[in-house]
């Protein structure tokens, strides 16, 4: 009984305390009557746990060999420098070709100019140019002996070979061959002329002998008739 009473007294005490709290606390107003604040307090976001990033692995591609390139064409070999004597030889060849097609009046003027040039300077080019003109009939009476004398110093033994001397050697050989042909032709002509002269002499002697025989027979016949 005593324990049951204690429990009853305790329960009554608790009810009294609850009633007192209820009487002391003011009545809560209705939610509809509470004004809504203009700006709500910002709530702090919940903490975000950082996600660990996976390690970055850089994969390098294997080095690629460059595509084969075609080899550049070989450069042409450099031209050898032309010296002064080679330039003179080229100019001389041009003149010789021009002489072969020029008219007589032009060749005569060229021959006169070549004589003036050789009197001033007896160079190899001037010698060859004059020798060539001396062999052309349209330039004047050919003078092979003088042409050969112009070329002999260039074709002599012991001379150092050069383009001009090679041209002189070719021209010298042509003049010598032509002079030989002319001499042979002259010999043939002289021999033929001698034969012709001999035939004419024989013919004249025969005519004289015939005329003598004819004259002597006429005189003898006339004397017999007179008897």
Give the mean pLDDT of 30-46.
51
Mean pLDDT over all residues of the chain? 74
* More reliable by pLDDT, 52 or 106: 106
In a domain, 70, yes or no: no
In a domain, 164, yes or no: yes
In a domain, 218, yes or no: no
Do 150 and 130 contact (CB within 8 A), yes or no?
A: yes
In a domain, 130, yes or no: yes
Domain count for the chain, please give it.
1
pTM of the model: 0.50
In a domain, 183, yes or no: no
* Dihedral, 92, 98, 100, 106 alpha carbons, nearest 10: -110
* More reliable by pLDDT, 2 or 196: 196
Q: Which domain holds residue 151?
A: 84-178
Give the mean pLDDT of 131-149.
90
In a domain, 116, yes or no: yes
201 φ, ψ (degrees, to nearest 5): -65, -40
Position 18 scores a pLDDT of 52
In a domain, 126, yes or no: yes
């Amino acid at each position: 009984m005593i324990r049951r009473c204690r429990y009853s007294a305790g329960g009554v005490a608790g009810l009294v305390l609850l009633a007192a709290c209820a009487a002391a606390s003011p009545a809560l107003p209705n939610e509809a009557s509470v004004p809504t604040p203009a700006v709500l307090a910002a709530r702090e976001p919940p903490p975000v746990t950082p996600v660990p990033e996976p390690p970055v692995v850089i994969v390098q591609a294997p080095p690629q060999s460059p595509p084969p390139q075609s080899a550049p064409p070989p450069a042409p070999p450099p031209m050898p420098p032309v010296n002064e004597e080679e330039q003179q030889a080229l100019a001389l060849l041009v003149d010789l070709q021009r002489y072969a097609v020029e008219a007589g009046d032009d060749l005569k003027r060229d021959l006169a100019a070549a004589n003036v040039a050789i009197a001033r300077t007896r160079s190899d080019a001037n010698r060859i140019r004059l020798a060539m003109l001396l062999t052309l009939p349209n330039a004047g009476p050919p003078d092979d002996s003088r042409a050969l004398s112009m070329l002999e110093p260039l074709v002599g033994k012991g001379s150092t070979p050069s383009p001009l001397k090679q041209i002189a050697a070719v021209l010298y050989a042509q003049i010598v061959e032509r002079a030989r042909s002319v001499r042979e032709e002259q010999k043939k002509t002289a021999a033929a002329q001698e034969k012709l002269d001999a035939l004419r002499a024989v013919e004249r002697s025969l005519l004289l002998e015939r005329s003598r025989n004819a004259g002597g027979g006429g005189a003898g016949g006339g004397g017999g008739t007179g008897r």
